Chain A
Amino acid sequence: MDNRGFEELEHTADLAYRLHAADMESLLHTATRALHHAQELVFDRPAGRSRSLSLTSFDRETLLVQWLEEELFTLATDGLAWCSWDISMTGDASLRARVTPTPAASYQVEIKAVTFHHLHISEREQGLETVIVFDV
Chain B
Amino acid sequence: MVRKQDFQRRADCIWELPPSFQSGMHVPVRVFADSAILEAALKDKSMTQAVNASMLPHLAGPVMVMPDVHQGYGFPIGGIAASLYPNGVISPGAIGYDINCGVRMLSTRIPFEAAKPHLPDVISALNRNCPSGVGVGGPIQLSEKELRRVCRQGSHWALKNGYARPEDVAFTEQQGEIEGADPAAVSARAMKRGRGQLGSLGAGNHFIEIDVVDAIYDQDAADAMQLSEGELTLQIHCGSRGFGHQVCSDYVRQFQDAARKYKIHLPDRELVCAPLTSLEGKAYLAAMACAANFAFCNRQLLSHYARLAFEETLAGRVKSWDLTLIYDIAHNMGKIETHLIEGQPQRVCVHRKGATRAFGPGHPDVPTAYQTIGQPVLVPGSMGTSSWILVGTEASMTTSFGSSCHGAGRTMSRRKAKKTVRGERLLEELEQQGIHVRARSMPGLAEEAPAAYKDVDAVVEVVSRAGIARKVARLRPVAVVKG
Contacts and interface: CB of A to CB of B under 8 A. Distances in A.
A12 B269 contact: no
A108 B73 contact: no
Contact of B202 (A108, A110, A118): A110
A58 B257 CA distance: 8
Interface in A40-98: 40, 58-59, 61-62, 65-66, 69, 73, 75-77, 79
B387 interface: no
B97 A13 contact: no
Contacts of B252: 113, 115-116
Interface residues of A, number: 35
Contacts of A40: 443
A136 B72 CA distance: 10
Interface string B130-148: 0000110000000000000
A77 B246 CA distance: 11
A43 to B, nearest CB: 15
Contacts of A10: 413, 416
A136 B204 contact: yes
Contact of A73 (B193, B202, B413, B416): B193
Interface in B391-436: 410-416
Nearest to A113: B97
A66 B253 CA distance: 8
Contacts of B270: 115-119
Contacts of A19: none
A14 interface: yes
B74 A79 contact: no
B212 interface: no
A11 B98 CA distance: 18
A116 B71 CA distance: 15
A75 B193 CA distance: 10
Nearest to A8: B415
B443 A12 contact: no
Interface string B268-290: 11101000000000000000000
A112 B70 CA distance: 18
A109 B202 CA distance: 11
Nearest to A79: B135
Interface of A: 8, 10-15, 40, 58-59, 61-62, 65-66, 69, 73, 75-77, 79, 107-110, 112-119, 133, 135-136
